[in-house]
Structure 1
Amino acid sequence: MLSDQQFAELMAKTRSGDQDAARELVRQYEPEIRRAARLRLTDPRLRRIVDSIDICQSVFGRFFKSATDGSFDLEKPEQLLVLLTTMTRNRIIDEHRRQTTQKRNRPEPDGRPFDPCSVIEDSPGPRTAAAARELLSEVRSRLTADELQIADLRNAGKSWEEVATELSESADGLRKRLERALDRVRAEIEASPIG
């Protein structure tokens, strides 16, 4: 942990817009903030939507915005830890409320079921997005041309009946073929992890 003098110098540099000072604050406090986020992300539905990295990035983003305009008068490193932990708790509470409000749980006017991903304001962190792209690329590379065609038609929003008509096969047969293909790819990836 930083001494009071080191902390005061780091905060002064951060307020003046020093990127190195901001990076050092993140380096010092990120592990604690991510730990606090993981401890509070107890709802499995919420954990599927946001993770500790997303929460941490959001908290630091809000902190630095307020720190540069002088909103915080912090003298000790412990005060910053308490502030960031409180911001983390509040961010998770806000996200939980946003996901569970009755208004958002109603079906859409067109009758489609509610999609929780549609209410997320923050994009996933860069690591999460990169990992998802890498996994999708790996899955696509392991599908045969026929399997990939079925998957692409379904991802384009076509029903199984529409896919069946386009490919001149039965809807059930195509659905089962894609399920088996995805099961096979999942087993292959689990047997030889990416990276």
Structure 2
Amino acid sequence: MADPTPDQDLVERCRNGDEEAARILFDRFVERLLVLARRRISQRLASRVDPEDIVQSVFRTFFERLKNDQFVIDDQDDLMKLLVRITVHKTLRQVAFHKAAKRDPSLETAQTDHTQEQLAQVLDEEPSPETIVAFMDQLEFFFAQLKPLDRQILELKMQGHSSEEIAEKLGTYDRKVRRVLERIRTVALTDSGHLPS
């Protein structure tokens, strides 16, 4: 049987309640996870979603589930991959929560119980970390192709704003917003073969 890696040794010490090992593990990974969380948070949400809070939550979850024997760390890279998955998942949940909260309150109160139930169900579903990372990478790549104004319009549309609201916020015309969204749909259709949801 192979000797345990340094990470595996740290993990086992943490599992047994060794606080020094937990501190070492935290110090070793915290900066990389902060960078990862920051990359997933748009500038508009930066004032509402704190990467440090997310990473603290990542480590709380990790240590708690580790003590309950819910993780198996076999390979040298398993620990980093696991922490990345937890970070991406928690970051996306926070972003989804705050984007939903930015919608017009009057629209939210008009929703039926059934609609709210469906939304809660969607937010509770847990896509695989690989799916999340792939989606985020594709989305970032797609956004990078857009002009700044087009990107702003798409972001607002994804947050649930109507064309009229977007035009008002950006000081432009409703017709222009509709044209931009139509152009974005065309580009998305050309690139991926289907319309963006």
State the TM-score, normalized to the length of structure 2.
0.48
State the TM-score, normalized to the length of structure 1.
0.49
